[in-house]
Structures are given as structure tokens and as C-alpha cells.
């Protein structure tokens, strides 16, 4: 296992967990086990040791990037004779369904907000830019929800561009995982944060020729990686956990899987959705964007990060 800088020339630094853990240095742990419980996603086994060994070093690195970005802005402002105003530092987080990127996003939002240099950290997910189910049904792509064509990508780019341009505030739709749809009339308002985290399946996709993509506005990007067969099992385990929890709510879009199907039928459903939807999206659209990330977190079967790949600057 790699323990530091690779001997073979590469645009990336490959680090083992042990080597990465040592980069925490004196970064304090600003999180209690109870707070971590509130941030953890369903069936995500992340614990305080994982926070200390993986996410505190990452928090430190992101803080260094944030401070460096400010110094560069001041340098450019001096070159121009002033007038360059601060704008949010934007972090993109990508990865498959069930890879744990939502937990990581919430965790990093909390850790970064507790550094003294940036008290305001906002998190948005690209779920807010999914077309409503009615539109997906009309276009015949309801079974491709989560694929690039199921998002209003122009609206997403406009939003991130507006935030990066220093807009005082910008509002976006709200997505309900319970109802599996955009909530009519609801909005999330983002007001000029120090840091904006944008989390989603396809946020690292390259734009069409001649156009801008959302990743063009990222100052740092993270890809949450794991073996396809491990993610498949995590997805199935999570669906069964949802069947015992959220799906029992009569308002849930998937309520019938808790009330009408037995375990064998639920397992068959989970296998089919993974095979026909999520794995195709992962292999065709999401995984190919991994090489575009600034940093890749490689998870093992138990969800623990064992390797980190960081692009050389």
C-alpha cells in the first residue's frame, strides 16, 4: 500500500490511510458523537475514528485551499488596483448513489463551519435541480431519474454562476426524498456564504463544447469512490433499511414497498433498479468523471476510506 509520494511520475499523489491520517497534525475535533449521529446517513457506519483519521485532514486541506484562494484574490486585486470582492469558495462532491457522499457533504459542512476563517457554509444538492416527476413522465425518462438528462442543468449552472459572481442571494427549488419529487412553491435561499458545497451524482461531468458546466465554477472537487459490487450491496442494504423506516410513511412515494411487498419481492425490486438504472448511470455517466476530481476518497467494503488520491497542484 502506498504510504506517501509515488515513485512513478503521475499527476496525482497517492496516500494510504496511515499516511493521510498523519496530515491531521493538530487539527482539533470540533464534533461530538451525538452530532455525528445527526449527520450520518441511513446505513452509513462512519464513526468518530473515521472523522479523526480521514475527514479532519480533509477539513484542514480544504481550509488551506480556502486561505490560499483569498491570498490569490488579494494579489489579483492589488494588480488591478483594487476592486476584486470576495466570492464563495465552491466545493463539488460527486459519486454514486449509496456511496455516502451525502453524509460526507453534511460532515464537511459542519467541520468547515467551525474553522474561524469561514463561519458560513452552505450545502445544496443537485436533487433540487431534478425536473419534477410530471416533466420526467411527459418526456418518457422517469426511469432515468438521476441521469444527466433528468436535471435542469442550465438552471444549476445559472445558480452556481450567480453565487460565484457574488450575488447577495439566490433561491433554488426544494426536493423531497419522501415524496420523490420537487416540492411545489418551496425554495431554499442561499445568502452569500463563505463556502458553498454542491453535492450530486453528476456534478463533475464535462459540459458540451462551447458551454460552461457546473464544475467550471468549483475551486475544489471530491469524488467518493468504491468498487461497484460494494456500492451495489450498500444500495440494497439501504433500501431494506428505508423499507423499515421512511417507506412506512403513507406519504412516501415508495410506501407500497413497505406495505404490499414481502422481503423477496423487495429484494427483486432492489436488484432490478440497481441493474437497470443505478449501475448503468454509475458506469456510463458518474464513474468516468472520477479523473476530473481534485481528490478521490477510495472506500473499502466496510465504508472506511483506505486510500486518498490528490491531484498535484
| pTM of the predicted model as reported, rounded to 2 decimal places | 0.94
The three cell numbers of residue 275 are 441493474
Nearest CA among 60, 5, 55 for reference residue 224: 55
Q: Cβ distance 151 to 130 under 8 Å?
A: yes
| Residue 289 main-chain phi, psi, to 5 deg | -90, -5
- State the Cα–Cα distance between residues 118 and 196, nearest whole angstrom: 11
**What CA–CA distance (Å, rounded) separates 6 from 19?**
12
Helical (H) or strand (E) element with 107: helix 101-113
What's the rounded Cα separation, in Å, for the pair 123 and 116? 18
Nearest to 178 by CA among 69, 75, 252, 79: 252
pLDDT, residue 308, reads 97
The 8-class DSSP code of residue 5 comes to S
With cell 468518530, the residue in question is: 48
Q: How many CB atoms lie within 10 A of CB 202?
A: 22
Q: pLDDT averaged over consecutive 10-residue blocks of the chain (313 residues)? A: 54 94 92 92 89 97 94 92 90 97 96 89 98 97 96 97 95 96 97 96 92 95 98 95 91 86 90 96 97 97 96 86
Rounded Cα–Cα distance for residues 128 and 91 (Å): 17
* Backbone phi, psi, residue 110, to 5°: -70, -45
* Residue 97 neighbours by CB distance under 10 Å: 21
Q: 187 forms bridges with which residues in the sheet?
A: 173
* The pLDDT value given to residue 179: 94
Q: Which domains does the chain have, with CATH numbers?
A: 12-311 (3.40.50.300)
Per-residue confidence (pLDDT) for residue 8, from 0 to 100? 63
Task: With both helix axes pointing from N to C terminus, report the angle between 101-113 and 56-80 in degrees, rounded to the nearest 10.
Answer: 60
Strand ranges (E), the chain: 12-16, 89-95, 121-125, 170-176, 181-190, 195-199, 220-225, 295-299, 305-311
CB neighbour list of residue 141: distance below 8 Å, 6 or more residues apart: 147, 149, 150
CA nearest to 236, candidates 198, 268, 201: 268
Which of 81, 62, 16, 3 has its CA nearest to residue 304?
A: 16
Contact in structure between 118 and 95 (CB atoms under 8 Å): no
Would strands 220-225 and 295-299 be described as parallel, antiparallel, or unpaired? parallel
Amino acid at each position: 500500500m502506498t504510504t506517501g509520494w509515488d515513485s512513478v511520475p503521475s499527476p496525482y499523489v497517492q496516500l494510504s490511510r496511515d499516511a493521510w491520517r498523519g496530515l491531521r497534525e493538530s487539527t482539533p475535533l470540533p464534533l461530538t458523537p451525538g452530532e455525528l449521529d445527526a449527520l450520518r446517513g441511513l446505513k452509513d457506519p462512519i464513526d468518530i475514528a473515521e472523522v479523526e483519521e480521514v475527514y479532519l485532514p480533509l477539513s484542514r486541506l480544504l481550509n488551506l485551499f480556502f486561505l490560499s484562494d483569498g491570498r490569490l484574490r488579494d494579489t489579483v486585486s492589488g494588480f488591478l488596483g483594487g476592486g476584486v470582492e470576495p466570492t464563495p469558495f465552491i466545493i463539488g462532491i460527486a459519486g454514486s448513489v449509496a456511496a455516502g457522499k451525502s453524509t460526507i457533504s453534511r460532515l464537511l459542512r459542519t467541520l468547515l463551519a467551525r474553522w474561524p476563517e469561514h463561519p458560513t457554509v452552505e450545502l445544496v444538492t443537485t436533487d433540487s435541480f431534478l425536473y419534477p416527476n410530471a416533466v420526467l413522465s411527459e418526456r418518457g425518462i422517469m426511469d432515468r431519474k438521476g441521469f444527466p438528462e433528468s436535471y435542469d442543468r442550465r438552471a444549476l449552472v445559472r445558480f452556481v454562476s450567480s453565487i460565484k459572481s457574488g450575488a447577495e442571494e439566490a433561491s433554488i427549488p426544494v426536493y423531497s426524498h419522501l415524496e420523490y419529487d420537487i416540492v411545489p412553491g418551496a425554495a431554499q435561499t442561499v445568502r452569500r456564504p463563505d463556502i458553498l458545497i454542491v453535492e450530486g451524482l453528476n456534478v463533475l461531468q464535462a459540459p458540451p463544447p462551447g458551454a460552461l458546466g457546473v464544475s467550471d465554477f468549483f475551486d475544489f472537487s471530491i469524488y467518493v469512490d468504491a468498487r461497484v459490487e460494494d456500492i451495489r450491496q450498500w444500495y440494497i442494504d439501504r433500501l431494506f433499511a428505508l423499507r423499515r423506516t421512511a417507506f412506512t410513511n403513507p406519504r412516501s412515494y415508495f410506501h407500497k414497498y413497505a406495505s404490499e411487498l414481502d422481503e423477496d419481492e423487495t429484494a427483486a425490486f432492489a436488484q432490478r433498479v440497481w441493474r437497470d438504472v443505478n449501475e448503468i448511470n454509475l458506469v456510463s455517466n458518474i464513474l468516468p468523471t472520477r479523473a476530473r476530481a481534485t481528490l478521490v476518497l477510495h472506500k473499502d467494503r466496510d465504508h472506511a476510506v483506505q486510500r486518498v488520491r490528490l491531484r498535484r497542484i
